[in-house]
């Protein structure tokens, strides 16, 4: 079963519905013991980095998420959830992240003619192969909504998208993965990514 972390920030219903569509049992939970023993964990997120980290810390779910990651349980962060995996963010100040991946999150600075947030459909450019994208072709379009992006993350960089400059679209290091875009809003391509994720188990990466 795939566990979706409920810490008060995220598209929980859309994500659970997408997993149901591909036949994957899921559980939305804020119970740390459940997260630590899950087959797979998804960390969603929308909104501000600082607020999300405060909620993870105050709820005690930060420890549950990091413990699951350290045990080798496949963990995928989505949108803000991916950004939380890094060491820190510079969104309205400097804020500590989960530190599960090397790198930091900074504002998108691109061609002034391009609107921020980066919102809508954009294509993926893969930098290396990974099981998470076994069903996804290079150039596939997925749905983004973000004003900040991960930088200095070459160790985990998996895919980029172009928006005046290359933006980090996906990352992976061992059992820890992240998608800046929303698979649950990305049609058949997104469902294919979720299908690949739910095939992963502890020790498979």
Given the residues 95, 118, 146, 182, select the one marked as catalytic: 182
Q: Are 22 and 186 in contact (CB under 8 A)?
A: no
Given the residues 79, 118, 153, 179, select the one marked as catalytic: 79
Examine the residue annotation and report whether 179 is marked as an active-site residue of this protein: no
Q: What is the pTM of this model?
A: 0.96
Question: Each residue of 43-79: pLDDT tens digit?
Answer: 999 899 999 999 999 999 999 999 999 999 999 999 9
Q: Are 85 and 77 in contact (CB under 8 A)?
A: yes
Examine the residue annotation and report whether 70 is marked as an active-site residue of this protein: no
How many residues are listed for the chain in this entry? 205
CA distances from 121 to 24, 55, 118, 124, 185 (A): 25, 30, 9, 10, 10
Count of other CB atoms within 10 angstroms of residue 143: 18
Question: Each residue of 31-46: pLDDT tens digit?
Answer: 999 999 999 999 999 8
Residue 161: pLDDT over 70 = yes
Q: Which residue has the tokens 């790198």?
A: 103
CATH 3.40.50.880 fits 2-198, yes or no: yes
Q: Tell me what pLDDT residue 202 has.
A: 65
Q: Among residues 188, 89, 183, 99, which one has the least CA distance to residue 144? A: 183
> Can you tell me the mean pLDDT for 117-136?
97
Q: Are 38 and 3 in contact (CB under 8 A)?
A: yes
Examine the residue annotation and report whether 118 is marked as an active-site residue of this protein: no
Q: Among residues 21, 10, 1, 12, which one has the least CA distance to residue 187? A: 21
Given the residues 20, 118, 184, 202, select the one marked as catalytic: 184
Distance in angstroms (rounded) separating the CA atoms of residues 73 and 78: 16
43: exposed, middle or buried (Cβ count in 10 Å: 0-12, 13-18, 19+):
buried
Distance in angstroms (rounded) separating the CA atoms of residues 104 and 155: 12
């Amino acid at each position: 079963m795939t566990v979706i972390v409920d810490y008060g920030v995220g598209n929980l219903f859309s994500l659970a519905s997408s997993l149901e569509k591909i036949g994957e049992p899921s559980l939305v939970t804020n119970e740390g013991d459940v997260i630590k023993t899950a087959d797979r964990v998804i960390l969603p997120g929308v909104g501000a980095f600082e607020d999300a980290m405060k909620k993870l810390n105050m709820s005690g779910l930060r420890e549950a998420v990091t413990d699951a990651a350290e045990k080798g349980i496949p963990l995928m962060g989505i949108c803000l959830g991916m950004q939380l995996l890094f060491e820190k963010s510079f969104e309205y100040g400097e804020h500590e992240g989960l530190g599960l991946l090397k790198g930091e999150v900074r504002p998108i600075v691109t061609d002034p003619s391009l609107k921020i947030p980066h919102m809508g459909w954009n294509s993926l450019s893969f930098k290396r192969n990974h099981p998470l994208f076994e069903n996804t072709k290079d150039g596939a379009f997925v749905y983004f909504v973000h004003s900040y992006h991960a930088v200095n993350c070459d160790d985990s960089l998996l895919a980029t998208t172009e928006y005046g400059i290359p933006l980090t679209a996906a990352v992976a290091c061992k059992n820890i993965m992240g998608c800046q875009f929303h698979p649950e809003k990305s049609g058949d391509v997104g469902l294919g990514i979720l299908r690949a994720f739910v095939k992963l188990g502890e020790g498979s990466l």
